[in-house]
Chains A and B, each alone.
Chain A
Amino acid sequence: QSVLTQPPSASGTPGQRVTISCSGSSSNIGSNTVNWFQQLPGTAPKLLIYTNNQRPSGVPDRFSGSKSGTSASLAISGLQSEDEADYYCAAWDDSLNGWVFGGGTKLTVL
């Protein structure tokens, strides 16, 4: 059971917009920023979004993040087949004094 809650799966067709939610509590998302990671099959995770809504250099602007209260979300617009991957949210937890991750969402492009 992960501290942050994500839907286990999501799907969309090419060109569609998909959102993935991440629910936490006051000790993590409620008081700290959220990062999102993309893990393509068989590869190491890659930072996709940091500090709630910032994109590292090289990440397309089709990817966007937002946070409200104790929840966050990742939106992917103009869905492409290469977006098929696992997506994880993460935040520092002040009570646990460590990082907590969501369980991951497997995105399928139909």
Chain B
Amino acid sequence: EVQLVESGGGLVQPGGSLRLSCAASGFTFSSSAMNWVRQAPGKGLDWVSTISPGGGSSYYADSVKGRFTISRDNSKNTLYLQMNSLRAEDTAVYYCAKDRHCDFWGQGTLVTVSS
């Protein structure tokens, strides 16, 4: 059974940092591209970042480029999102999603940026 479990969300002040994790199981993690997608309260889906199976290529939305870094540890079947210089508009539920079609999503972790 495919499982994606996000963690690391919480309340952080503007300008602060947070690292999200996504623990994967039930599929060959090292063969799957992985994605982060966020959803602000009451709003739609907003793509954040994608990383290739081996980690050699990564892509970012313009809104997070230079502030967020996606990475993965295939030996631990874990995806990460390092978020720096956080802003109020980064407040959202952050989902990790599997593969190029986002064919399975975790339950999400809430990030709140507020003073």
Q: Which residues of A contact B (CB under 8 A)?
A: 2, 35, 37, 39, 44-47, 50-51, 56, 86, 88, 90, 96-104
Contacts and interface: CB of A to CB of B under 8 A. Distances in A.
Contacts of A50: 101, 103
Interface stretch (B13-21, B72-80, B105-113): B105-113
Interface residues of B, number: 21
Contact of A88 (B44, B61, B97): B44
B20 to A, nearest CB: 15
Contacts, number: 54
Contacts of A98: 47, 50, 59-61
Nearest to A35: B101
Contacts of A103: 44
B62 interface: yes
Given A44-B95, A44-B107, A90-B45, 14 more contacts: A37-B45, A44-B108, A45-B95, A45-B97, A45-B102, A47-B101, A50-B103, A51-B101, A97-B59, A98-B59, A99-B50, A99-B102, A101-B44, A101-B45
B104 interface: yes
Contact of A99 (B35, B44, B103): B35
